């Protein structure tokens, strides 16, 4: 079991390779694509990512390796029962506004990734629609938060809500590995 990638290591590696988004946004995009119904074995996510975060340029090997590890980690978390999904945001020692910003980036990434795969929201349940409306509100939050217990609690609750909502979208629209395997016998 390799060490889980974390916000700092992913963000630092991305910026070393000249990619201007943080780990939260990339993670959000990946989770969004999967929650929007992208197949877990779909290899087009790399192209979609390069278009959204790298002006359509191909990633170098190190970045591609990093993103693939991150993608695999996301798949693993979504497939595990018991809500194993962890949002990729800075740890609790990080100033609250940095965590808040990362959460907003994550939610914006999620909506972007989700939108790439789920154009038809009319088909979604009310719960999913409501979650996405809330995500839209969260993505527009701008007020700085005070570093006090009340704000900590509020931020924690929003993060939990985002996590549960993402899992809700996945359980409704996401594909399991079983869906992947039933579709077509492979011809290798």
The residue to which tokens 């290798």 are assigned:
188
Residue 182, C-beta contacts closer than 8 angstroms, at least 6 positions apart = none
63: phi then psi, degrees, rounded to nearest 5: -70, -40
Q: What is the pLDDT of residue 186?
A: 43
Q: What pTM does this model have?
A: 0.90
Q: What is the largest CA-CA distance in the chain?
A: 58
Other C-beta atoms lying within 10 Å of the C-beta of residue 78: 21
pLDDT at 40 over 90: no
User: Three-class SS of residue 144?
Assistant: coil
- Whole-number Å distance between alpha carbons of 45 and 43: 6
7 close to 109: Cβ distance less than 8 angstroms: no
pLDDT at 65 over 50: yes
Rounded to the nearest integer, the mean pLDDT of the chain is 88
pLDDT at 166 over 80: yes
28 close to 169: Cβ distance less than 8 angstroms: no
Structure tokens at 106: 């994550």
Q: What is the pLDDT of residue 177?
A: 63
Structure tokens at 39: 């197949």
Q: What is the pLDDT of residue 181?
A: 56
Q: Mean pLDDT, to the nearest integer, of 164-171? A: 93
Q: Which domains does the chain have, with CATH numbers?
A: 7-178 (1.20.120.740)
């Amino acid at each position: 079991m390799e060490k889980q990638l974390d916000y700092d290591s992913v963000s630092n590696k991305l910026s070393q390779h000249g990619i201007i988004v943080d780990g939260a946004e990339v993670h959000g995009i990946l989770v969004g694509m999967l929650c929007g119904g992208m197949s877990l074995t779909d290899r087009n996510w790399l192209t979609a990512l390069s278009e959204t975060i790298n002006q359509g340029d191909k990633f170098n090997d190190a970045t591609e390796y990093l993103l693939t590890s991150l993608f695999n980690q996301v798949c693993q978390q979504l497939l595990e029962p018991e809500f194993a999904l962890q949002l990729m945001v800075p740890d609790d020692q990080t100033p609250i506004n940095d965590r808040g910003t990362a959460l907003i980036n994550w939610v914006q990434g999620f909506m972007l990734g989700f939108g790439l795969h789920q154009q038809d929201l009319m088909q979604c349940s009310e719960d999913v629609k409501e979650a996405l409306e809330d995500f839209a509100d969260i993505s527009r939050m701008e007020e700085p938060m005070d570093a006090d217990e009340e704000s900590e609690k509020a931020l924690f609750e929003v993060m939990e809500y985002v996590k549960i909502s993402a899992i809700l979208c996945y359980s409704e629209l996401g594909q399991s590995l079983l869906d992947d395997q039933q579709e077509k016998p492979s011809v290798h």
